[in-house]
Amino acid sequence: MNQDTDASFGAAIRAEYEVFQEFQRTLQHEHAALMQGETERLLQLAPRKSELVEKLSVFSAGRNRMLQGAGLENTPAGIAALLDALNVDAATRKSWNDLLVLAREAEQVNSSNGILIETHLRHNQQAMAVLRSAANPGSLYGPNGQISGAAGGHPRDKA
C-alpha cells in the first residue's frame, strides 16, 4: 500500500467518525422526542437520520472495497490487518477505536428507540381497538347465528 492510500484511509475514518457523531446526536434527539411523545419532531428528524444512514453506508462500502482489494475480510481481524498493512498513525488507530465505541453506543440508543416505537405502536393499536369496540358495540347476531342478547329479545320459536 502507498502513502496516499494510508492518508486517504485515515481521512475516511475521521470523516466517518464525524458523521457517526452526528448520527448519534440525531438518535439522541429521536430518543428525547419519543420519550416526550413529540410526533412532529420525529417526522422532522426522519429525513436527517436517513441521510446519515446513507452516508455511513457509503463509508462502510468504501472500507469493504479496500479490505477486499487487500484480500482481507470485513471483520475486526481484517480491519486490524489493514491498519497494520497501511501502517497508519496512532491518531488514525484512535479514531478507528473511537468509531467502534460510538457505533456500539449508537446501536444501543437505536435499539432503545425501536423498543419505544414498538411500545407506542402497541399502545396506539390497543387504543384503536377500544375506539372500534365503542363505535360498534356489538352485532345483531351472535357467533351461533342467533340474535344476540345485546340486541334485545329472544329467538322466536313461532312466526
pLDDT at position 101: 94
Superfamily, domain 3-135:
FlgN-like (1.20.58.300)
Banded model confidence at residue 142, pLDDT cuts 50, 70, 90: low
The domain locations on the chain are: 3-135
For 20-37, how does the pLDDT look when each residue is reduced to its tens digit (9 = 90+)? 999 999 999 999 999 998
15's torsion region: left (phi>0), alpha (psi -120 to 50) or beta? alpha
Given a contact cutoff of 8 angstroms between Cβ atoms, the answer to whether 88 and 9 are in contact is: yes
For 92-128, how does the pLDDT look when each residue is reduced to its tens digit (9 = 90+)? 889 899 999 999 999 999 999 999 889 888 888 888 8
Grid coordinates 387504543 are at which residue? Answer: 127
Cβ contacts of 60-66, under 8 Å, gap ≥ 24: 62/12, 63/12, 63/16, 66/5, 66/9
In 70-89, where does DSSP find H-type helix?
76-86
Nearest Cα to Cα of residue 82 among 103, 98, 67, 101: 67
3-state secondary structure of 1: coil
Q: How many angstroms separate the first and last alpha carbons of the chain?
A: 96
Element (H, E) at 95: helix 90-135
More confident site: 129 or 111? 111
Residue positions counted in the chain? 159
Torsional sign, CA 129, 131, 137, 139: negative
